[in-house]
Structure 1
Amino acid sequence: MRALRPHARRPFRRPACQGIRASFSHAVVGRASSPLVPGVVQPVSRDAGAFRGTLSNYRPWRPSLVAGGQERTTASTRSEDLVANDWAGRSMVDTITLNAVGANGLFPQSIIPAALLGLDEEQARDIGDRMESIFKLWCESAGLEGQHFADLQFMGLRSALVHGEMLHIPVMVDPTKEGGFLGLRMQPVHPERLCTPSDKRALHNMRDGVELDRLGRPCALWVAEPAPDLWSGRLGWGALGSDSFRRIPHRLFHRPGAFHCFRRTSEEQYRGEPILSPALKLFRHLADSLEYELIGQIVAASFPLFIKVADGTQGVEDYLGQFQQGPGGQGGQERVYHQSYAPGQVLYGNPGDDVKPLSSDRPGANWTGFVNFVVRAMGASAGIPYEALLKDFSKTNYSSARAALLEAWRVYMLWRQWQARSYCQPIYRMVIEEAYLRGLISLPTSAPGFYEALPLWTASMWIGPGRGYIDPVKEAKANISLIESGLSTYGEILGERGLAVEDVWAARGYEDRLMQRLAPRLAARLDAASFVAGAPPEDDGFPSDDDGDGDTNHDDAEEGDDAATA
């Protein structure tokens, strides 16, 4: 076998075609990796943005600052008129107000974070109880005219629903002369008084009575305050000059200078919108329609009787002459035109009149369904179900009624939390601050100072009226199951009922001690019954033979228990 000889090393030569192939590959890869030119294919036309078909005349427009303020004022006035005179508008406002705030208002429960302030739980609880007691005493005369704080909350939320905003001014009085132990008072003001003076409409930083700073934030409010002897109200508040207004700062350092509260639903919004605005036409037209139908029913129910009298009829000439006297006292010169009908009235027509009996086929067969549909639409505009708006649960079962109340409860909680966040909590902080400065509250020296941790010292949770239950037995069983499974707390469940866990347990402890002292036999019997009912069975991981029959099946025991329960 011949030995293999290594090849001689020869220089590498790139073929001419390979160089062309390499340059072509580089060009192709380069073009494939680069993005295409965007915007070549235009999207299809949108009917929502075109003026054709049924939307050809749909041309929304943005009013100027002055026109926008006038529209907001008109909408607020119309909403106030509807709530004052329309049953549906009043029902919507009262339903939300009563469920969100209630008759007794929202009350605070102090939740001072003890760990963050370096305190133990007992110290934090004692300080919180002291703050709650002071605030409760202040609530008795919170208003400038002596209103309770619950009444101020009710009035403020109602104004926020009717006018879209509430305006309360904090003022300081002398407690030695006005009564009480704190000087803070709240003055409710009608939101219509908040407007731009006539000599400041051209300023770029004025927005319908709200003055803005260089960053676009509200810095002051202009509230009309004309002289009573010079104000007639004919020209409106906007006709007054700045000398008839008071400029109220929006904030005084860390304290609010005015409570101008409204729910912001859009960007760059400085004034509120009434809750009835989206369906205001429905409210007004339904009220007119119901009034016309009612008038038609009244006319048909009056059942007037018409008698046609021919010319020359004997026996009624004298009687007709009493009603057909002309301006000159000559009978038979003027025709009689009846404009109203009294129940059971007998009317005589003029000679030659063609009399037809009155009959009414109103309302129509679909009238009830139409009214229900309109009312549902009005309630949907504010998130209120039909059943909650009209208080009508006659056509619902348990599941549908509970679903309707849950949907309504979300709306109530939205307004409640907004009221607590924007109005109640800042006032609570102002009251506690004044009480601290007057020496009514003392804090541990080892803890941070009051102003160093102001949000922590004044932290609180606001509790309102309870949600209510459709079937209390089912709701109670569900709550017990949630607590036993660890998915809920006593405070959460009692909070839904409008109660504080400390107050409930304190009252239960007092009642237990009272029962032990006054009715010891009843207390012993209840304790024994609760022990038997709540005794947990022993569980070692294996089926037990509690009945001693050698069988781990307890069907017979369960049947005996059921029979005893029955």
Structure 2
Amino acid sequence: MKLSMLREVTNSGYSHSGASRRKTSMQGWTSDSRSPQEDIGNNLRLLRERSRDLYMSGGLAAGAINKNKSNVLGSGLTLKCQLNYRMLGLSAEQAKEWEEKTEFEFNLWAASKIDHTGLNDFYDAQRIMLTGWLLNGDSIAIQKYTDKAEGLNPYRLRLHVVEADRLNTPNRNLGNSSFASALGDGDETSSYAELKSGGAIHNGVEVDWSGKVVAFWLSNKHPNSVFPLSKPMEWARVQATNWVTGLPNCVYVVDPERPEQYRGVPYLAPVIEHIKQMNRYAEAEITAAIVNSFFAAFIKVDGPKNEAPLGSAIAPEDQIEMSREDRLASYEMGPGTINVLGAGEDVTFGDPKHPTMGFEPFTMTMAKLAGSALDMPYEVLLSVFNSSYSASRAALLQAWRAFRDRRDWFSNDFCQPIYESWLFEAVATGRIKAPGFFSDPAKRKMWSQAIWIGPSPGQIDPIKEVQASVMRINNGFSTHEKETSELTGMDWDGNIDVLRREWEMRKDLPISPTVKPNGRGGDNNDQD
């Protein structure tokens, strides 16, 4: 039986729809897919460059990135310890005291300049890492220790945040590896190295024979940078985990799409072409609007040209600089200019027409498509809430599902590992007491339990939101702590302490006609 006849017999299922090679609509569709290293790694450099270019150009790309930064992190995620005090054999009061002390000590470190440049604190480092992930697909920070404590910071832990481009495969022979390069789209190259140990290096990420990440290869400067001129390109191998402490040497923030994917793709990757075309369209419309704002004139010449028939009335500082030859072949116009034409010259005024009325609905539709791909409703992406209360609230809720998921993922991948490394040092130096921390892995995990609090979503109608929170608390669907965090981003325990102190301070003040010291409303005739 011929192969073609066999195919006719065996074709079934998706071969008649999405996998069809016979349908006219599918015949022009050529696609190919390989391993994550080939599909992603070979194109990663170009994706990063285009992603950063779109962000620096403003528009939807900058809006999408900045919306994530402001809603996922805000001014930075703050630590809230969550001890399982029963499992640790503590009372609620002891746990509360330990949590408050630990949070204070951690902020003592986090609010200091803890990065290698001496410019950023821990909250700044969060934004740099998240922005790096959004723009480049992944970001990495190396944990280091200074020789001694500096200033008011008694801790030695430091972070060295590295640009994602510096995580790359060496292009020289290391003595124990053989390198091969694979070309991606265009002239971009993606480095790959096979090691004699059976492992490999994929774009700077070293894996063992089983595919487990064991080390990172970092260059001493950006691959496209010529600075510093005196230093040649060199690489350092950093083990992923410290084999003595079990803590990570490198905190690697990446959100893989596929199994065995070692490098991430930029957040804007699915809509790079889409947004670029929108930017071009916007630039064309802006240019058209500028041209239409002028009173256009066309010079008809039958004889020799006048040197500047419409330009002599324009102030010299406002004229375009050009050579005499170019000026003879060009004309300039300005507001309210009057001039005498030369012999054989005539002026025809144009009435340009451009369909700018379709710009807003078209860009709005394209923004909806881009927002759908980025998991962000267009109302949030464009900061436009012209719909009803229900529609606007639904858009915010949908966006905040993605923001919360991203916040949880980022805090687990970056904030929590950093906190555990800091707590290791704090307990080792005796500033924090945690019995069993080094001897029992389970207790070490329980002492390290925490949540990370970020900005609240905000409310379209605060009264309705507060009423809903009260109903959830009264019916046991939520807690004061959770609702306080959701509504205001504050700490309920801290609020209670402040409120108690405020009531103590005002108990001797005259009773308000609307609010009594017990917190209930009423008038002067109400009796307790």
The answer, yes or no, to whether TM exceeds 0.5 is: yes
CA shift digits 1:13-51 (9 cap, x unpaired): xxxxxxxxxxxxxxxxxxxxxxxxxxx976253232233
2:226 match: 232
Cα 1:177–1:86, aligned 2, differ >3 Å: closer, same or farther?
closer
Structure 2 match to 1:512: 503
Give the whole-Å Cα distance in 2 for the aligned partners of 1:407 and 1:140. Answer: 33
2:29 aligned with 1:51? no
Tell me the residue number matched to 1:551: none
Instruction: Determine helix, strand or coil for the equivalent of 2:451.
Output: strand
Q: 1:48, 1:153 → 2: CA distance?
A: 42
CA contact (8 A) 1:308 1:349 kept: no
Structure of larger gyration radius: 1
The residue identity in structure 1 corresponding to 2:81 is S
Q: What SS class does the counterpart of residue 261 from structure 2 fall into?
A: coil
Q: In 1, Cα distance between the equivalents of 2:327 and 2:89?
A: 96
Partner residue in 2 for 1:24: none
Aligned to 1:464: 454
**Aligned amino acid, residue 516 of structure 1:** K
Q: Does 1:391 align with 2:383?
A: yes
Cα contact 1:302–1:344 (8 A) shared by 2: no
> Shift of the alpha carbon at 1:400?
0.6
Corresponding residue number in structure 1 for 2:473: 483
Amino acid at match of 2:226: S
Report the residue type matching 1:248 in the other structure. Answer: V
CA distance in 2, matches of 1:322, 1:471: 58
Q: Which has the higher strand share?
A: 2
* 1:215-241 Cα shifts (integer Å, max 9, x gaps): 20111111111599x972799x9xx87
Counting only pairs closer than 5 Å after superposition, residues 13-412 of structure 1 correspond to structure 2 as 43=12, 45-52=15-22, 53-62=24-33, 65=37, 68-103=40-75, 105-141=76-112, 142-144=114-116, 145-177=118-150, 180-199=153-172, 201-202=179-180, 203-204=193-194, 205-225=200-220, 232=226, 244-253=234-243, 254-311=246-303, 336-338=328-330, 342-343=334-335, 356-393=348-385, 395-412=386-403
Distance (Å, rounded) in 2 between the aligned partners of 1:440 and 1:234: 41
Query: Are the structure 2 counterparts of residues 100 and 231 from structure 1 closer, same or farther at C-alpha, using a change threshold of 3 Å?
Result: closer
Amino-acid identity (%): 26
Superposition pairs for residues 400-549 of structure 1, below 5 Å?
400-443=391-434, 449=439, 451=441, 453-496=443-486, 497-517=488-508, 519-522=509-512, 526-527=516-517, 530=520
* Shift in CA distance, 392/460, structure 1 to aligned 2, threshold 3 Å: same
- 2:394 maps to a residue whose letter is A
Indicate if the aligned counterparts of 1:305 and 1:346 stay in contact, CA closer than 8 A. no
How many residues matched?
A: 474
Question: Does the CA contact (< 8 Å) of 1:308 and 1:355 recur in 2?
Answer: yes
Q: Distance in 1 between matches of 2:308 and 2:149?
A: 79
Secondary structure, in 3 states, of the residue corresponding to 1:527? coil
Deviates more, 1:361-370 or 1:502-511: 361-370
SS in 2 for 1:308: strand
1:400-426 superposed Cα distances (whole Å, 9 cap, x missing partner): 110010011111101111111100011
CA distance in 1 between partners of 2:435 and 2:327 (Å):
95
Give the CA deviation at 1:248. 0.9
* CA distance in 2 between partners of 1:146 and 1:334 (Å): 51
SS in structure 2 at match of 1:48? coil
- Map Cα deviations across residues 462-520 of structure 1 (whole Å, 9 max, x no partner): 11111111111111111111111222110110121311221111111111111125x25
Q: How big is the shift at 1:457?
A: 0.5
- The residue identity in structure 1 corresponding to 2:57 is N
Secondary structure of the structure 1 residue equivalent to 2:256? coil
* Contact preservation (8 Å) 2:307, 2:328: no
Report the more deviating stretch, 77-86 or 447-456: 447-456
Residues 113 and 339 (structure 1 numbering): CA distance in 2 closer, same or farther, change over 3 Å?
A: farther
* Structure 2 unmatched runs, 5+: 1-8, 173-177, 181-192, 195-199, 313-323, 524-528
Superimposed CA distance per residue, residues 131-170 of structure 1 (whole angstroms, 9 cap, x where no aligned partner): 1111010111232224121111111111111111111111
CA distance in 2, matches of 1:189, 1:388: 31
- SS of alignment partner, residue 86 of structure 2: helix
Q: Deviations over 1:307-349 (max 9, x none)?
A: 535449xxx97976999xxxxxxxx999953376555566888
CA displacement at 1:392 relative to structure 2: 0.9
- Cα distance, 1:320–1:491 mapped onto 2, change above 3 Å: closer
Give the letter aligned to residue 97 of structure 2: D
Compared CA separation, residues 47 and 434, structure 1 to 2 (3 A): same
Q: Is the 8 A contact 1:51 1:57 kept in 2?
A: no
Instruction: Name the one with the larger helix percent.
Output: 1
Deviates more, 1:493-502 or 1:139-148: 139-148
Match of 1:23 in 2: none
The letter for the 1-side match of 2:83 is I
Once the two structures are superposed, what CA deviation does each residue of 1:423-459 show, in whole Å capped at 9, x if it has no partner? 00111111111011111112358x9956552110010
Structure 1: give runs of 5+ residues left out of the alignment. 1-39, 324-331, 534-566
Letter in 1 for 2:85: A
SS across alignment from 2:399: helix
Shift of 1:97: 0.8
Which residue identity is paired with 1:503? G
Q: Do the aligned residues in 2 keep the contact of 1:304 with 1:347 (CA within 8 Å)?
A: no
Contact kept, 8 Å, 1:299 with 1:341, in 2: the verdict is: no
Which residue identity does 2:12 align to in structure 1?
P
Q: Deviations over 1:49-99 (max 9, x none)?
A: 233413223222236857843411110111011111122111110001101
Structure 1 counterpart SS, 2:478? coil
